[in-house]
Structure 1
Amino acid sequence: MSLVFLVIIGAAAGFIATRLLGIEAGLLPTIGIGVLGALLGGLVLRFLLVLTGMAAGLVGAVLGAMLLIWLWHLGTRR
């Protein structure tokens, strides 16, 4: 992500966040809040996606193992 894009997104995010929370801040603090918030939010989101991805992998592995056990059980029942 380029620096210009980060500043633009940070300014927008900071503006929205300060308005939602009812805080009056200047342009530079608003951009700073937005950029730091975007970095922090990105880290948290990536962490949650990793946890969710690992949980989804575990669920998929358990379901796959259950399917194989079921198929094995059908094959050995005869």
Structure 2
Amino acid sequence: MHVIVLIIIGAAAGFLATRMMKIEAGILPTIAIGIAGAIVGGLVLQVLLTVMGALAGFVGAVLGALVLIWLWQTYVKK
């Protein structure tokens, strides 16, 4: 069932991509373009989310440290 869904989504994505780029292609190349695009796009998105996730964790850690320093300076160090 997963393969059928991949082919349907690949066909739709390939159709849209070939029309947006104004490329005339047959049904099989259109489906292949869509499936390959889904794979490449999925990998790129996964890498971006991983990098952004690590960056978000770093930003969160810095903000947390800033809050702790502020609390320490405000309430402990008097």
What's the TM-score once normalised by structure 2's chain length?
0.95
1:27-55 deviation per Cα after TM superposition (whole angstroms, max 9, x unaligned): 00000000000000000011001111111
Equivalence map 1:36-51=2 (5 Å)? 36-51=36-51
* SS of structure 1 residue aligned to 2:62: helix
Corresponding residue for residue 9 of structure 2: 9
Corresponding residue for residue 54 of structure 1: 54
Alignment gaps of 5+ in structure 1: none
Matched residue count: 78
CA RMSD of aligned residues (A): 1.1
Runs of 4+ in 1 over 6 A off after TM superposition: none
**What is the CA distance between 1:74 and its match in structure 2?**
1.2
Corresponding residue for residue 32 of structure 1: 32
Whether 1:23 aligns to 2:23 is yes
Using the alignment, how far apart are the partners of 1:18 and 1:43 within structure 2? 21
* SS of structure 2 residue aligned to 1:25: coil
One-letter amino acid matched to 1:17: A
**What is the CA distance between 1:6 and its match in structure 2?**
0.4
What's the TM-score once normalised by structure 1's chain length?
0.95
Using the alignment, how far apart are the partners of 1:57 and 1:23 within structure 2? 42
